[in-house]
Amino acid sequence: GQQVMQIPQYQHVQEGEDFTTYCNSSTTLSNIQWYKQRPGGHPVFLIQLVKSGEVKKQKRLTFQFGEAKKNSSLHITATQTTDVGTYFCADSGSARQLTFGSGTQLTVLP
C-alpha cells in the first residue's frame, strides 16, 4: 500500500537556526497535507499542496511539492521555541483517509 516516509525522525536546532523536514513517497501523490502536533496535543492542519512544483509560504514556513509529486518539504526559517512539535506530512489523495508519515520531531533549544 501507499507509504509515506519522512526524514529526519528527530531534529534539534538552536533557536534562530533553520529547519527542514522531507517527505517521500514511492508512488505519485495526488495531494499532500502538512500537520503540526505539539507535545501532548493533537494534529493541527497547516497546509495542502496540490500542484506539481507548488511552493506556498506561511510567514517563516515554506512548503514545497516536488515536480514529480513524489516528495515534499517543509522549511522553517529562523526557528522559535513556539515551533517545537512534530511535523507530519500526509497523503490526502483519498477523501476516505489520510496516510501519514512517521513525522519529524523538532526540538528548539533556547
Partner 1 sequence: DTGVSQNPRHKITKRGQNVTFRCDPISEHNRLYWYRQTLGQGPEFLTYFQNEAQLEKSRLLSDRFSAERPKGSFSTLEIQRTEQGDSAMYLCASSLPGTGSPNTEAFFGQGTRLTVV
Q: Can you give the binding site for partner 1, defined by CB under 8 A? A: 6, 9, 30-31, 33, 41-45, 48, 50, 88, 90, 92-103, 105
Tell me the HSE value of 44 on the side-chain side, using a 13 A CA sphere: 9
Nearer to partner 1, 44 or 68 (CB): 44
Contact 49, 67 (CB under 8 A): no
Nearer to partner 1, 12 or 18 (CB): 12
Contact 57, 64 (CB under 8 A): no
The residue among 20, 35, 36, 45 whose CA lies nearest residue 82 is 36
- For residue 95, the minimal CB distance to partner 1 (Å) is 5
Helix (H/G/I), strand (E/B), else coil: 70: coil
Nearer to partner 1, 36 or 79 (CB): 36
- For residue 41, the minimal CB distance to partner 1 (Å) is 8
